[in-house]
Chains A and B, each alone.
Chain A
């Protein structure tokens, strides 16, 4: 019982950075921009966040620095793909590679450093409820912020006019342009916002989750977050679900290993990725679903006046 509660708690914590990054990428993609640079953005913001938290002594400073770093990298990426119409796939991959090298380079001094004492978090009253308390209510505040962000994004996309415009741009930039919307401006805004969210996720990894900086510490989570957007058929609520599912599988794998279950560890490490592929296959069986939710212009450049 108690172990299950701990597993749930670990799952929420592991899912949170995936959810936040996935949400950011979802906003990008809803506007029609595919950012394959997610892994690099997460790395750069992780090191930025760690440095800020280390020198400033505050986690929140770390998140702010992570968000700023993510937004800055995304702004460069956005300028390249939205204004200069460079190929989104190639540019994204370049950002990813750049990010891993650059973060390793500037992060050398931070390897092995420790952040201050980790504070324990608890929601008053609820934290003492048996089972539910340890499972759900002793988390870092960012875990709850992630849930709130998902709800806010869903509200934004489906209940506000600005969200409708964003979806419209992602579906048909030509039509949106013809109706007088500034497609490039909107796309850039979406990319930068998405970058800031990825930045928060990166900072969460290095400041709260691990919490330390090592080269390559993001360990493929950027790619998982990208897969999550497809997994979620570009709907915010399902991003959260997918992130927790994924976090859960990862945690279960560690848990089983700790229990000494006899299985090759490589197989266990594979499990989350296999799960993703299986779910993707299942989802792709419903073409209408994909058609209605997938931003039709995803990955395609837009030339106004052509």
Chain B
């Protein structure tokens, strides 16, 4: 047998008291797709950053093609042929998609070749992208695609994917798997991190399970089931979502004929969006990201107060022109899709991040009651199983899933009357995801109106009482999730509902 492409021996990495990686060893053969599995904060991303040279380990060694290799920086890693898709994207907002991709490739290719490469490969990979759009107008799903395309075009010998499908639609994920299988067949090794266990069963040849920074198991996923993987990972199977029929109350949040021009020529314009969310129900919005979700969320949350005052109503009050804080005062809370930067300030402590949307710890004249604030933050940490060193930890030091749990927890804990939440379980492990979903349902049963925007159909079907689909800035009529089929929602995603943008285009095409 030939030497493994990559071998790790006794890798240890500490952050203060936290041991992120503890004596980790693993080997990846050429052409092998190797899954790294573990709950939030298990140390997966840290281990990948060690391989990529972005984090220096405290101890341990790394072998490349059987020979010891010193990877001091990402530059060294790239020279060996390692490419990585980060969990928190490393993109440049003001540059275009093509420029972002170009920066990740070798100097010898020209920008024009990159543009053609993106156009050509996008179809093949099922990762649709417009190379000329600036990245700052893209949704997280689209950004994820940029990251993946950049890594794929680099022709790597080892490809590291840290939760690449967290915000991809199932169809796009399926296409990505085909691409990855082809890539592996040509001898490229792949390290694959995901919290979606069925993906690991379908895609991977080998699996290493981490827990608390240590390797606790390694197995052949083709012989496992999601239940057994889940047991290895969190020691139990995730509880099934219990739900009773909705007890629908009065109208809470509604939009009527909401229309908003795009922010610039790249933005998606919202057209005639109407939707109702009643107290005590969960309404889901499905759709491929980049079809107006961001714009709709911004209009509903108050981040974008350009709508006609009456186009958005909260308990019958026009709120279209109110800012986010004013809406929050009236009981509307919001979880944005970007957790770093929008949902939290990366450099601030968790306690201070609490103050962004919660003012319970504020005393007269804006005085901050530090003790109360710490207490409040610790409460959220405990209740939502957030793994962090404490309320004083900086938001950016949390693992991706743990930060997500914290932000969702912060808003759930406020007991809002209306909650608008985007991608509630992005990057959260199976156990915690089940818990967040259960909390959302509990909130609903307590009479809160919940609007969930997600790309994960499965999640929407499990959570929502009614579903809408958003396509090209237009919203479909709603359909009870019990009556809806995956096929129908899939069709709607291309705008093919009566009066939808896809159907209008088809009609226009037929007339010509």
User: Which positions in A face B, CB cutoff 8 Å?
Assistant: 161, 164-165, 167-168, 171-172, 174-182, 288, 291-293, 296, 304-305
Contact = CB atoms under 8 A, between A and B. Distances in A.
Contacts of A167: 92, 94-95
B95 A180 contact: no
Given A171-B92, A182-B75, 15 more contacts: A161-B111, A168-B92, A168-B95, A168-B103, A175-B89, A177-B73, A178-B74, A179-B104, A180-B77, A291-B136, A292-B94, A296-B93, A304-B73, A305-B54, A305-B56
B78 interface: yes
Is the contact region of chain B dominated by helix, strand, or loop, or is it mixed? loop
Contacts of B55: 305
Contacts of B95: 164, 167-168, 171
A174 B75 CA distance: 13
A177 B264 contact: no
B94 A291 contact: yes
B187 interface: no
A164 B134 contact: no
Is the contact region of chain A dominated by helix, strand, or loop, or is it mixed? helix
A305 B58 CA distance: 13
Contact of B90 (A178, A182, A288, A291): A178
Contacts of A175: 89-92
Contacts of A305: 54-56, 73
A171 B93 contact: yes
Contacts of B74: 177-180
A105 to B, nearest CB: 41
A156 to B, nearest CB: 15
**Pairs of residues from A and B, 5 with the lowest C-beta to C-beta distance, nearest first:** A175-B90, A180-B75, A180-B78, A178-B90, A180-B74
B384 interface: no
12 contacts: A161-B111, A164-B102, A175-B91, A176-B92, A177-B73, A178-B54, A179-B74, A179-B104, A180-B75, A180-B79, A182-B75, A296-B93
B107 interface: yes
Given A161-B107, A164-B103, A305-B56, A172 B90 contact: yes
B94 A179 contact: no
Most buried by B among A171, A175, A182, A293: A175
Contacts of B315: none
A72 B102 CA distance: 33
A167 B96 CA distance: 12
Contacts of B54: 177-178, 305
B99 interface: yes
B385 interface: no
Interface string B75-91: 10111000010100111
Contacts of B73: 177, 180, 304-305
Contacts of A293: 94
Nearest to A164: B99
Given A304-B73, A305-B54, A305-B56, A179 B103 contact: yes
A171 B94 contact: yes
Contacts of A168: 92, 95, 103
Interface in B46-86: 52, 54-56, 73-75, 77-79, 84, 86
A193 to B, nearest CB: 20
A172 B136 CA distance: 13
Contacts of A164: 95, 99, 102-103
Given A165-B103, A171-B95, A292-B94, A178 B75 contact: no
Nearest to B86: A178
A292 B92 CA distance: 11
B78 A179 contact: yes
A165 B54 CA distance: 19
Interface in B144-188: none
Contacts of B104: 179
Contacts of B264: 288
Most buried by A among B91, B107, B264: B91
A190 B410 CA distance: 43
Most buried by B among A172, A178, A305: A178
A167 B94 CA distance: 9
Nearest to B396: A306
A288 B90 CA distance: 21
A164 B86 CA distance: 21
Nearest to B77: A180
Contacts of A296: 93-94
Most buried by A among B77, B92, B104, B136: B92
Contacts of A172: 90-93
Most buried by A among B56, B74, B84, B136: B74
A161 to B, nearest CB: 7
Contacts of A180: 73-75, 77-79
Contacts of A181: 75, 103
Given A167-B95, A168-B95, A161 B78 contact: no
Contacts of A291: 93-94, 136
B134 A174 contact: no
A182 B56 CA distance: 16
Contacts of A292: 94, 134, 136
Contacts of B86: 178
A179 B84 CA distance: 9
A179 B90 contact: yes
A103 B290 CA distance: 57
Nearest to B105: A179
B129 to A, nearest CB: 18
B278 to A, nearest CB: 36
A45 B94 CA distance: 35
A113 to B, nearest CB: 48
